[in-house]
Structure 1
Amino acid sequence: MDFLNPLDAIFLAFESREHPMHVGGLQLFEPPADAGPEFARELYETMAAATEVRPRFRRHPSRMFGGFSSLAWSHAENVDLHYHVRRSALPSPGGMGDLLDLTERLHGQLLDRHRPLWETRLIEGLDDGRFAVYVKMHHALIDGVSAMRLLQRTLTDDPLDTRVRVPWVTPPPVTKDAFEAEHVDSPWQQLRRALPRIIRNSRSIATPLRGIIDGRLTLPMTAPPTMFNVPIGGARSIAVRSWPMERVNAIRTATGATVNDVVLAMSAAALRAYLIEHDALPADPLIAMVPVNIRSAAESDASEGNIVAACLANLATHLDDPIERLTAISTSMRETKQVFTQLPKLEAMALSALLMTPLGVSVIPGFEGLPRMPFNLVISNVPGPRKPVYMQGARLDSNYPLSIPFDSQAMNITLTSNSENLDFGIVGCRRTVPDLDRFPDHLEAGLAELERAVA
């Protein structure tokens, strides 16, 4: 039995039918030129035959006092791979709409807590000849950065390498640092040991307090109420699209902003247009929570669970000018990062937990109607492959990350780099976020607006 770290325990404790707490990904692959009609079936059979399942993929919540616990993991002795790894086909004609319809249904379904908390589905029948792989894992098992690095270790940059590597078998790299990271104290032990130091270390406390006092930190509970900040249901809507990285880099070069700043500005423009379209744009700027990875190189591969800091970014949606909006976003992110980078890792995680505490309170009965939210939505940029990668000779064409809408957080925007593209996955509550399929058009308009402004 293994104890969860505090953040992972929260992901298990807050899960309900309306709030599935898994992250996912939808990968589209282009089969090799010499692939036969049975390529997808044979690939599925090879995947399902990989039965040496790693410990992470055997974990499920332990049972205590007659029910499931959110404090500790149990490990399944036997994993039924034919339950966890399945094959599906789309109805004819098999367009992207059919694929997204199936993915929406899969992404809205809870994982079975009696079993290890992950599933994989190989999906064939797309009319353009591609096939898809949908994967979901409970967020208590993995964070976005770790999930992307795990995916990259299952792929290869050699199109002639036909070995099939699957996440549940792929081991972490064996290095001295990784070995040491696997044998350090648990996060609970580290936090308990660090608490006296945190209390004694006035600098650790004073640094974020000074950031709050002088306005360098965007505060929780300052986000304006929007149509996203309402109770949600369990059904999901999904929208996806890809953009060439060169378009984002051209704006970055022209303005001196970072890639993430430009992505946030695209998202801010899209949110502004979407809310205007629904006559729901607030006068105050929207606030986004932007997760920032704070793992060491060894922890990235050897440690499990979530090690992130929560930065709050002012999206400046009240500004009409795209360059003024980008400048405000860049300033907000730069100053927030400056505060976090001055803190040791555990203190940064503690401050992040403080910033996110109101979100947890909002799911408690009786607190759903809080007049202000800690932030309006999560926007996450996860590093992905920087060059073309393959699985059994099939090229990864698109890699759409799919994350979690929360109660009072009805939309999530997550993106990842994929060779020369940025792949966006937008997930929303089906009941409370209408016309989500139009949102990628607003993202394109936001990017084009920035391009015109810097031309």
Structure 2
Amino acid sequence: MSDGAESGIDVDRPLDWANEPHMSAVDTIMWRGDTDRRMRGTICMLEIYDCDPDWDRLVAAHEWASRMAPRFRQRVIDSPFGTGTPSWAVDPDFDLHYHMRRIRLGGDGSMRELLSTCEQLAMTALDAARPPWEGTLIEGLPDGKAAYFMKAHHALTDGLGAIMGLAQLHSPTREHNPSKPQPPSPAPVNISTLDLLRRQLGEEIGRIPHRVDTTIWGIRALAHPRKALSIALRYGRSVPRVAGMVSPPGSPLLANRSLSWRFSAFEVPFTDLKAAAKATKASINDVYLAGLIGGFRLYHEKMGAPVDAIPVAIPISVRRPEDPAGGNRIAVGRLAGPVGIADPFERVLTIREQVRVARHEPAVDIFNTLSSVLAWLPGSVLMQFSGTTSQNDLQASNVPGIPWDTYVAGAKVERMFPFGPLPGCAMMATMITHNGIGCIGLNSDGAAITDLELFADCLVAGFGEVLALAADDDAPPGVLRRVV
């Protein structure tokens, strides 16, 4: 700090994170999804602490974080027509007291009780007139531990962007650091409807040269009609696959949908996932997906309703090094989850090939390509396209976590369990690797997964099948453990 200040460098400045003045088109579509309660884009993170953090320090840490990342002080300013991309503006009525809550865990204090409490917090809608996030300290866990549950709108960031932000806001030491940067509080911003509409119009005018270039490129391509036709046909065949129009039918067992979210948490040593990936010459993500789909296979068998495949969606990061942190930089990959394959090795290889194909689909980025047009549609119209997510039985993501010890207000973060939104699918599975542990959070639709205890047992067994592929005489098979 002092070295930077003496050299004339302003170190007391906010992070370079989520600092765009308005939403991207993709962020906008996620924001407008809240028009339908079933499509709410609430993302959640449950952190388990080794002790109760000091409340005053925790409040001060949040106040500091809201200056380091001013997005946490900003609310969404939308057009009166609910069209175009909204702006972000520092809320003149920002009240940290509203966003931070403190409760004591009731019941038996178990992990199941904690997850039940978090379910209720997650299902409560965020206030669209305030910065879209809330944080709750939950005390009273066994052995003097505590938990912190944060929920925010997906329009703020994708999973990778969230980890990039948390890595910079969490402390590397248990002790207070008085020398950390202290940027000033951002000034409140008032954006009028006219300002917003003027900005939206300017953006559309700015896109004209690009659209003209695209048109000219298309005209020039006609000079080579065979090549142009080949590209067009490949892209045209890819669009239905990326849009989920040729996905396998959803499982009849998982067909029902509701507004009920149900959380489950699991953990697995990251070394075991790596060993299984090495043994199968696949990626860790392939092994993770094979474990999940193995759980679905066993669940269908136990329920007496076996199927050959289920529709699965995975996010594909299109984030580039030059992209700003925060916001959403994702595309969607479609898989036919091979639930009917009992052999775990064959299942991993099948998934590996499907993921490879999905990542290289010519139309993989069509959602981002069309988003600038879709962002002009009102939420009620956008929801007509929600079938592309509600037809999925499983959506699964895997996000690299923070690879070093982190602390919050004197408490060590032992685990970080992520819970993604449930946009009409039967289950959202998310894994974050924290301190050598794969922390898996499942958000299930209570009407789709009707026996959550049985599913948990099946998931443990499904991962056991895959992790056993790396076992030998010197290394016993790895184990997925349910956190209860």
Q: Is TM more than 0.5 here?
A: yes
SS at 1:14 equivalent: helix
Residue 281 of structure 2 is aligned with which of 253, 256, 269? 256
8 Å CA contact retained: 2:279, 2:469: no
Amino acid at match of 2:458: H
Amino acid at match of 1:42: D
* Deviation readout 1:364-394 (Å, 9 max, x if unpaired): 4xx99x7997543210111111233222442
In structure 2, the CA distance between the partners of 1:349 and 1:253, relative to structure 1 (3 Å rule), is: same
Give 2:350's aligned residue: 328
How much does 1:275 deviate?
Answer: 2.4
Counterpart CA distance in 1 for 2:203 and 2:394 is 27
Counterpart CA distance in 1 for 2:389 and 2:110 is 41
8 Å CA contact retained: 1:48, 1:82: no
Give 1:61's aligned residue: 76
Q: Which moved more, 1:244-253 or 1:72-81?
A: 72-81
* Deviation readout 1:208-252 (Å, 9 max, x if unpaired): 853775999676122212257646333311001110011111111
In structure 2, the CA distance between the partners of 1:377 and 1:454, relative to structure 1 (3 Å rule), is: same
Gaps of 5+ in 1: 32-37, 172-185, 355-359
Counterpart CA distance in 2 for 1:292 and 1:170 is 35
Give 1:14's aligned residue: 33
Give 1:451's aligned residue: 467
Residue 413 of structure 1 is aligned with which of 409, 426, 429? 429
8 Å CA contact retained: 2:276, 2:468: no
SS at 2:67 equivalent: coil
1:239 partnered with 2:264: yes
SS at 2:160 equivalent: helix
Residue 43 of structure 1 is aligned with which of 49, 54, 57? 57
In structure 2, the CA distance between the partners of 1:398 and 1:86, relative to structure 1 (3 Å rule), is: same
8 Å CA contact retained: 2:53, 2:409: no
How much does 1:9 deviate?
Answer: 1.9
In structure 2, the CA distance between the partners of 1:372 and 1:92, relative to structure 1 (3 Å rule), is: closer
1:313 partnered with 2:335: yes
Counterpart CA distance in 2 for 1:7 and 1:165 is 34
1:272 partnered with 2:297: yes
How much does 1:313 deviate?
Answer: 2.4
Counterpart CA distance in 1 for 2:234 and 2:282 is 25
Amino acid at match of 1:259: I
Gaps of 5+ in 2: 1-19, 187-201, 222-226, 374-379, 472-484
Amino acid at match of 1:96: M
Give 1:134's aligned residue: 149
TM-score (norm 1): 0.79
How much does 1:282 deviate?
Answer: 2.5
SS at 2:423 equivalent: coil
* Deviation readout 1:296-320 (Å, 9 max, x if unpaired): 224252xx42111111123211212
Amino acid at match of 1:12: W
Q: Which structure's CA Rg is the greater one?
A: 2
8 Å CA contact retained: 1:378, 1:412: yes
8 Å CA contact retained: 2:389, 2:423: no
How much does 1:79 deviate?
Answer: 0.7
In structure 2, the CA distance between the partners of 1:219 and 1:256, relative to structure 1 (3 Å rule), is: farther
Q: Which moved more, 1:196-205 or 1:443-452?
A: 196-205
Amino acid at match of 2:402: P
SS at 1:452 equivalent: helix
* Deviation readout 1:133-177 (Å, 9 max, x if unpaired): 1111111121111111111112233444556999x9999xxxxxx
Number of aligned residues: 420
8 Å CA contact retained: 1:157, 1:388: yes
* Deviation readout 1:2-27 (Å, 9 max, x if unpaired): 55322222222221333321111101
Amino acid at match of 1:337: R
Give 1:182's aligned residue: none
How much does 1:439 deviate?
Answer: 3.4
Counterpart CA distance in 1 for 2:26 and 2:302 is 36
8 Å CA contact retained: 1:198, 1:205: no
Give 1:349's aligned residue: 368
8 Å CA contact retained: 1:2, 1:72: no
TM-score (norm 2): 0.75
Give 1:395's aligned residue: 412
Counterpart CA distance in 2 for 1:169 and 1:290 is 40
8 Å CA contact retained: 1:309, 1:348: yes
Amino acid at match of 2:397: S
Amino acid at match of 1:417: T
8 Å CA contact retained: 1:381, 1:416: yes
Amino acid at match of 1:333: V
1:55-454 counterparts in 2 under 5 A? Answer: 55-62=70-77, 64-65=79-80, 71-73=85-87, 75=89, 76-91=91-106, 93-160=108-175, 162=177, 194-198=210-214, 200=217, 209-210=233-234, 220-221=244-245, 222-227=247-252, 230=255, 232-283=257-308, 285-301=309-325, 304-339=326-361, 349-350=368-369, 363-364=383-384, 375-407=392-424, 409-454=425-470
- Percent identity between matched residues is 24
* Deviation readout 1:39-61 (Å, 9 max, x if unpaired): 44333343455463744223333
1:52 partnered with 2:77: no
Counterpart CA distance in 2 for 1:100 and 1:385 is 23
Give 1:180's aligned residue: none
